[in-house]
Amino acid sequence: MKTIELLKELTDSFGVSGHEEETFKTIEKILRENYKNLTYERKGTGSLLVKMGNGSRKIAFFAHTDEIGLVISRITDSNYARVAGVGGVDPRTLLAKRVVFRTASGNKIGIIGMLAPHLQAPSTKDKSPSFDQIFVDFSVSGGTKDLQVGDMGTLEVFAAEMQGDKLTSKALDNRAGVAALMRSIDYLNDLNFDGQLVLCFNKGEEIGLIGAKGMSYEVNPDYAIVVDVTFASENNPNFETYKLGDGPVVAVGAPITPSVFEQISSLAQENNIQCQIEAVPGSSGTEADVVQLARNGIKTGLISIPLLNMHSPVETVSIQDIDYTARLLAIFASKAGR
């Protein structure tokens, strides 16, 4: 399966933090259709482990599977409900959008409306609403009778190809990383691999790195590489940003094992894989922060995929960056597994 088609299927699946089951099923379905000799396990609260090989040296790749979303917090009447964010949701990204909630009766569409500019008061038209001021209108889909407090939802957004090799969608944080892990199997099948590879597709990163904490302890690998996303080309002088299409971003700093960084960087150079370098002086904000602490400590690296418009319905990535990441992962596993 081409990376862009893989990514479309992954991002279109529903996987709000704590409710990732549809995305896990999508991952497993695609892997079973395309690869043999893999084994599958569910561990902890449901994170998915996919294993390849049975050598003594164990390498684990980590990618969180969940996405940010919404939860019904209060049903106000027969047509309207209030919502709260799951993960880092900016309420401004919700305005004038369709949302879809998973209920016991199936999918339920709602609308977060926006007052026409002609009717807005001058005193409020330049202000941004908070979650305390947002309602979801379900009158368009039969009212709120099928809803319950606690039902999870996302914006109703579907992946779209853009010019060049770009793709825009919701949930590219971190389905881009998930795709890179899955595609790494293609590259690894062309290499000499004597070790054991464990792909860790984890729950609940957006609400506290939940899955990675347990999975790093469970797997206890010799080496771990976390794959996530990082900020691309944002116009913010307070943050270093990276360019779409210029390759994966390799982290160096406090939560990263120096020898792992050096090995990843050397392998990229030896194999003509263009990379960018990100300095991480403290917390990385990724699963690497907890993976490195498991048991007696795990040798950990972090590779990130540049992403535009993070935590929005128009996140954008370069397919080339994902393929380069997958190739680099496979080469690392081949070398480290010997």
Predicted confidence (pLDDT) per residue in 231-254, tens digit:
998 666 776 779 999 999 999 999
Domains defined along the chain, listed by start = 3-67+170-336 (3.40.630.10), 69-155 (2.40.30.40)
Task: Indicate the burial class of 165 (C-beta count within 10 angstroms; 0-12, 13-18, 19 or more).
Answer: middle
Instruction: Tell me the sheet residues that pair with 117.
Output: none
CB count within 10 Å of CB 40 equals 14
**pLDDT per residue as tens digits for the range 50-93:** 999 999 999 999 999 999 999 999 999 999 999 999 999 999 99
For 249-275, give one letter per residue: b (16+ CB within 10 A) or e.
Answer: bbbbbebbbeebbebbbebbeeeebeb
Task: Report the candidate in 316, 321, 306 with the shortest Cα–Cα distance to residue 274.
Answer: 321
List the structure tokens of 103: 């209920």
How many angstroms separate the first and last alpha carbons of the chain? 28
Q: Identify the pLDDT of residue 154.
A: 97
The predicted pLDDT at position 235 comes to 67
pLDDT surpassing 90 at residue 96: yes
Six-digit token string for 64? 């969180």
Q: Are the CB atoms for 61 and 225 separated by under 8 Å?
A: yes
| Residue showing tokens 């902890």 | 44
Res 215: pLDDT:
96
Give the Cα separation of 31 and 26 in Å (integer). 9
The residues, any chain, with a CB within 8 Å of residue 173's CB and separated by 6 or more, are 67, 68, 228, 229, 307, 310, 311, 315
pTM attached to this predicted model: 0.95
Report residue 115: phi and psi, to 5°.
-60, 135
Query: Could you tell me which of 151, 193, 217 has the C-alpha nearest to residue 14?
Result: 151
Find, among 101, 45, 89, the residue nearest to 206 by Cα: 89
